[in-house]
Each structure stands twice: as structure tokens, then as C-alpha cells.
């Protein structure tokens, strides 16, 4: 065991006593500054001292010789709002040193739910999350898809001025209740039904309240550049701080376009826009299979799609809309069934659309519709369609944060999920930074700590300095690596030895402690409310 602990008697002189002293380690403080030897002392949930502690005593001393101390990692892009109530222990985070998850991404948030939903607003959802005592913190965004569904349902049309006003009102309420930002998912129904003016109006509301606007753009393939331009135009028109989520280029014909996207971001930043992006270190994405269909096919939602697929003439139109993508941005060999509800294809989890098409003697587009129709349209895929050089380009870019886009919080479970939920951060720290030098270790840590904290306007997390909240991680740098693979995803990462959330050890000697001090953090518009 590399981390050793020992108890010392508590001294009566409070000024020189700490709750915890992490001694002998190398500090990577999150700012991007080079690693340096430094002890870190914690008192009352905050970092109390960084550097030589002199003669001060601590209730507990942890020997971090040979280990690296970092801020607790902040996952700027998570969907754990849909899983944390069932898995508040969040081991997949703890094994990577992740202490805060930004939820509500890609336009999806549990609130404001439709009439009758248990989550009419953020306050109700946050109260339920906090009552479940998560091990890690949540920093919620509110999803545009949820705002739109609450007002317009799944209808494919523009909102009336009154409806847009109601969406703005719901966004304002979420901000007052502690949301950190607004997100869109412009490839997902019903977000995909929104035109640019609707997004700009909501972005203006977000800007006025100091919120971040995070977007899963309208296109990540043939029209990636136009989609980046749309996102930048929304920021320009509204003044909002913009986060381009999981920047990528899908399909061989589009590989390399990420460089152009990054150049557009740089040019916009040079003109004064506050814009950044993020990336997960994999060349596959994971999403709902329905997101590959032409947008009109999703008008009215999943049930309306299923009705279209049941009508031969309409089904033919959906097929015709899907076919041009096949072999271009939709590679049948690379689209793997990750999870689906019970039904005839339940045994095909882990298989590709190409496999299913071959076995059924049909073209891939037909196989897609057959699987959707047989499983209530609720089919999750892993989609191998990106290029490693694009992943690395975003990772190297100074504004590119590391973010998982995951939702699986503990192993084992059902289906065949993307490994990113288990491995994103350890994979960047180990294989990408340490082994291949794609970025330096200090830069890798910055992209997981102070950079996401700055995007969230989260001032007291993301760096290790006196006064900061003591969300901390201690890694064995030589052993830090992801272990989850596409073939065997249910594997926790290796290397984290100690993780603190607000000074409380949630992982110790490399194992979860069962302590769950996390909670829902409150964003910039709610800071004056009870507790920030």
C-alpha cells in the first residue's frame, strides 16, 4: 500500500493544527503551472496551507511520497443526472479522481419536466439528488430540449412569442435555482426543431444571468463548419459564454475538419468572444440510434416515428433520408448496439449494424429501421466514426477541456456502454499525457480542473490554493490508466489513491470509503441563495 496514514493526537492550538496533511507529494495545482513538491493541508473542508507546513500538526497525515496531488477533477460534460439517483456511490468517478460532474448536457435535463413529472424544476430535482447523498458534486445545466418539451411538447415548429417567453421564464427560474448554464442538443428531437432565432433568444437570457451556453451542435459531420458558425453566431448575437461540446468530425470524408473548427474558435476568441470546447479521448461516440435519422422523422417524438415506420410509404421516405449518410457519416461496421429494451434484437448487443444487416440479408439502412421498430425506438449505439488526429487536435488546443460525455457511474450493469464513463480522465493522464506526450501532465490536469471551473464561473474549485474547497485527488502517476475497453467496458480506472470531496475522503488507499459528501452546487445566478 503506497498511501500510509497515521493518527496523531489533536493539538489544542488551533492556529497550527490541520484536519489532514498530505505530505511529500508532487503538486500539480490545476493552473497549468509545472509540478512542484508541496505539502497540502486541509482544515474544515478547505485547503488551509500549500507548501512546507512548518511545525504544524495534523489530525491525520498521509504520506504521498512518489504520488501526485491535483485538484478534484471536474467533468464538464456528463449525463449523470439520469443515473445518480440509482448510483449515488459513483465509483466510476472516484476511481478517476473526479469530484464534480456537470450535468444537463446536450439539451437533456430531468427538469423542468412535463406536467406530472416529479421534477417540475431544478429545486425539486436538486433536493432529491441531495437527499440521496451522492459521493460527488453535481453542477447542473438546464437542457433546451427539456425547456422546449415543457412548453411545446415534441412538435416540430417554431414557438409563438408567448411560448418563447415561457421558455425564457423556465430558464430564468432554473438560473435562480442554481443552474450553471443552458445546453442544447441540436441533433436531438425536440431541440433539433429549433431555429437559430429561438436559440439566440434563450442564449440572451442565459447571458444576462451569467450562465454558460453549452451546445451539442446541429451537425458534427458533413456540415460541421456551418454548425460551428451557427454556435458562434448565437454567442455573438447574445453575448453568452459559449462551450462547444465534444468537438469532433464524424465520417472519413470529414476527418481533419476539426482543425478548421478550432481556427474558427480562435478567430472568434481573438474578436472577443468567450468560447471554448471540450473532447473525450476516444474515436467513437455514443448516442441514440434515432439521432441518425432525418430530423422530420422525429416530429412528435418516438411514438410518432414508430407510426411512420409502420406505414410502408412513409417508411420508404425515412429510408431514403437515411441512405445518403450510410458509408459517409454512418459507417455500418462501426455502429455497435450498446443497449436496448427487451425484444428480438436483445441478443445483438455488442454487434454492429453491418452484422445485423448481413444476417438479415438486408441493406444497413433497413437494418436500422428494423431494430428501431422492434425496440420502441430506444436503441443506444456506440459509433466508431472519428479520427485520432482530430481527437488529439482538440486535446492539444488550449481551450479544449477534457470531458467524458458519460453517464454510467458504477459497474457492473446492463448492455455494452461506451468506455468513456469509466476511463476518460485516466486515459488522458496516463496514455495520452504520460505515455505519448500529447499534452504535458500539468496541461492535462488544467484541462480537467481550472479550465472547466472557469467555464462554470466556479471560483472556489479547480485549483489547489489556500481557501479553495478541498476537493483533491492523489494519483500514483506511473499506474494511472484507463482499463475499460469497447469490448470490456465495465472496468474501473487505475491509479487514484486518495480522493477528497470538501475535505472528506471518498476514496482512500485506492478504494471507495462509502462516505458520500457530494451535493448539488449552485451556479452564478443563485449565489446569494442559501450557501454557494
Which of 344-352, 397-405, 409-417, 513-521 is the region at the interface with Cu ion (rule: CB under 5 A)?
Answer: 397-405
- CB-nearer residue toward Cu ion: 39 or 405: 405
Size of the site for Cu ion (CB under 5 A): 3
Residue 144 as a binder of Zn ion (CB under 5 A): the answer is: no
Report DSSP letters for 72-130, one per residue: PEEESSB-GGGTTTT-TT-HHHHTTTEEEEEES-TT--S-SPPTT-S-SSHHHHHHHHH
The helix (H) or strand (E) run that includes residue 13 is none
Contact pick of 76, 80, 106, 365 for Cu ion (by CB under 5 A): 106
The C-alpha atoms of residue 97 and residue 92 are separated, in whole angstroms, by 9
- For residue 106, the minimal CB distance to Cu ion (Å) is 4
Residue 405 as a binder of Cu ion (CB under 5 A): the answer is: yes
List, in sequence order, the alpha helices (H) in 239-344. 257-270, 302-310, 312-322
- For residue 234, the minimal CB distance to Zn ion (Å) is 16
- For residue 409, the minimal CB distance to Zn ion (Å) is 18
Q: Which does 308 bind (CB under 5 to 8 A by kind): Zn ion, Cu ion, none?
A: none
Phi, psi of 260, rounded to the nearest 5 degrees: -65, -40
- CB-nearer residue toward Zn ion: 141 or 433: 141
- CB-nearer residue toward Cu ion: 141 or 395: 141
Size of the site for Zn ion (CB under 5 A): 2
Give just the sign of the alpha carbon dihedral 378, 152, 142, 298: positive
Which of 41-49, 197-205, 212-220, 510-518 is the region at the interface with Zn ion (rule: CB under 5 A)?
Answer: 212-220
The C-alpha atoms of residue 150 and residue 432 are separated, in whole angstroms, by 42
Residue 390 as a binder of Cu ion (CB under 5 A): the answer is: no
Q: Which does 209 bind (CB under 5 to 8 A by kind): Zn ion, Cu ion, none?
A: none
Residue 105 as a binder of Cu ion (CB under 5 A): the answer is: yes
Do 13 and 6 meet the contact criterion of CB atoms below 8 Å apart?
A: no
Phi, psi of 166, rounded to the nearest 5 degrees: -70, -40
Contact pick of 79, 148, 209, 216 for Zn ion (by CB under 5 A): 216
- CA nearest to 77, candidates 355, 425, 484, 362: 425
- Residue number with the smallest Cβ distance to Cu ion: 106
Which of 55-63, 83-91, 100-108, 444-452 is the region at the interface with Cu ion (rule: CB under 5 A)?
Answer: 100-108
Q: Scanning the structure block, which residue is given the C-alpha cell 498521509?
A: 62
- CA nearest to 50, candidates 465, 475, 502: 465
- For residue 279, the minimal CB distance to Zn ion (Å) is 12
Which of 28-36, 363-371, 402-410, 418-426 is the region at the interface with Cu ion (rule: CB under 5 A)?
Answer: 402-410
Strand 46-50 versus strand 4-7 pairing type:
unpaired
Which of 205-213, 216-224, 370-378, 417-425 is the region at the interface with Zn ion (rule: CB under 5 A)?
Answer: 216-224
Residue 106 as a binder of Zn ion (CB under 5 A): the answer is: yes
- CB-nearer residue toward Zn ion: 216 or 447: 216
The C-alpha atoms of residue 264 and residue 479 are separated, in whole angstroms, by 37
User: For the CA atoms of 478, 484, 485, 486, what is the dihedral angle to 10 degrees?
Assistant: -160
- CB-nearer residue toward Zn ion: 106 or 387: 106
Query: Contact positions toward Cu ion, by CB under 5 A?
Result: 105-106, 405
Query: Contact positions toward Zn ion, by CB under 5 A?
Result: 106, 216
Amino acid at each position: 500500500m503506497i498511501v500510509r496514514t497515521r493518527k496523531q493526537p489533536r493539538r489544542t492550538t488551533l492556529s497550527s493544527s490541520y484536519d489532514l496533511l498530505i505530505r511529500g507529494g508532487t503538486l500539480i495545482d490545476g493552473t497549468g503551472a509545472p509540478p512542484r513538491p508541496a505539502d497540502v493541508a486541509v482544515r474544515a473542508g478547505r485547503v488551509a496551507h500549500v507548501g512546507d507546513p512548518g511545525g504544524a500538526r495534523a489530525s491525520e497525515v498521509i504520506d504521498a511520497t512518489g504520488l501526485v496531488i491535483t485538484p478534484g477533477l471536474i467533468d464538464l460534460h456528463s449525463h449523470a443526472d439520469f443515473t445518480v439517483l440509482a448510483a449515488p456511490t459513483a465509483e466510476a468517478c472516484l476511481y478517476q479522481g473526479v469530484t464534480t460532474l456537470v450535468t444537463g448536457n446536450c439539451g437533456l435535463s430531468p427538469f423542468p419536466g412535463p406536467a406530472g413529472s416529479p421534477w417540475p424544476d431544478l429545486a425539486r430535482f436538486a433536493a432529491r439528488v441531495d437527499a440521496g447523498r451522492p459521493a460527488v458534486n453535481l453542477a447542473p445545466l438546464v437542457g433546451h430540449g427539456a425547456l422546449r418539451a415543457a412548453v411545446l411538447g415534441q412538435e416540430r415548429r417554431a414557438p409563438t412569442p408567448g411560448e418563447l417567453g415561457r421558455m425564457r421564464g423556465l430558464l430564468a427560474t432554473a438560473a435562480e435555482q442554481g443552474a450553471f448554464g443552458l445546453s442544447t442538443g441540436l441533433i436531438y428531437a425536440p431541440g433539433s426543431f429549433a431555429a437559430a432565432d429561438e436559440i439566440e433568444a434563450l442564449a440572451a437570457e442565459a447571458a444576462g444571468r451569467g450562465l454558460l451556453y453549452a451546445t451539442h451542435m446541429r451537425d458534427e459531420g458533413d456540415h460541421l463548419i456551418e454548425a460551428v458558425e451557427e454556435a458562434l453566431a448565437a454567442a455573438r448575437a447574445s453575448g453568452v459564454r459559449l462551450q462547444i461540446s465534444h468537438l469532433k468530425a464524424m465520417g472519413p470524408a470529414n476527418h481533419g475538419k476539426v482543425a478548421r473548427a478550432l481556427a474558427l474558435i480562435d478567430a472568434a476568441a481573438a474578436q472577443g468572444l468567450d468560447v471554448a470546447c471540450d473532447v473525450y479521448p476516444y474515436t467513437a461516440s455514443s448516442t441514440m440510434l434515432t439521432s441518425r435519422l432525418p430530423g422530420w422523422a422525429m416530429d412528435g417524438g418516438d411514438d410518432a416515428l414508430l407510426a411512420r415506420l409502420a406505414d410502408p410509404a412513409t417508411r420508404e421516405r425515412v429510408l431514403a433520408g437515411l441512405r445518403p449518410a450510410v458509408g459517409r457519416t454512418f459507417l455500418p461496421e462501426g455502429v455497435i448496439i450498446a443497449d436496448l429494451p427487451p425484444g428480438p434484437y436483445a441478443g445483438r448487443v455488442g454487434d454492429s449494424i453491418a452484422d445485423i444487416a448481413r444476417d438479415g440479408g438486408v441493406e444497413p439502412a433497413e437494418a436500422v429501421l428494423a431494430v428501431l421498430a422492434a425496440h420502441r425506438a430506444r436503441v443506444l449505439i456506440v459509433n466508431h466514426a472519428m479520427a485520432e488526429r482530430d481527437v488529439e487536435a482538440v486535446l492539444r488546443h488550449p481551450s479544449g477541456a477534457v470531458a467524458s460525455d458519460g453517464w454510467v457511474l458504477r459497474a457492473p450493469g446492463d448492455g455494452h456502454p461506451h468506455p468513456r464513463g469509466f476511463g476518460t480522465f485516466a486515459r488522458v493522464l496516463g496514455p495520452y499525457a504520460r505515455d505519448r506526450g500529447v499534452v504535458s501532465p500539468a496541461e492535462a490536469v488544467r484541462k480537467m480542473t481550472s479550465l472547466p471551473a472557469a467555464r462554470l464561473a466556479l471560483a472556489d474549485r479547480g485549483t489547489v490554493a489556500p481557501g479553495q474547497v478541498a476537493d483533491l485527488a492523489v494519483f500514483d502517476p506511473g499506474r494511472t490508466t484507463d482499463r475499460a475497453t469497447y469490448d470490456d467496458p465495465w472496468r474501473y480506472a487505475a491509479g487514484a489513491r486518495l480522493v477528497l470531496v470538501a475535505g472528506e475522503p471518498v476514496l482512500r488507499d485506492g478504494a471507495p470509503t462509502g462516505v458520500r459528501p457530494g451535493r448539488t452546487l449552485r451556479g452564478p445566478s443563485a449565489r446569494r441563495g442559501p450557501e454557494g
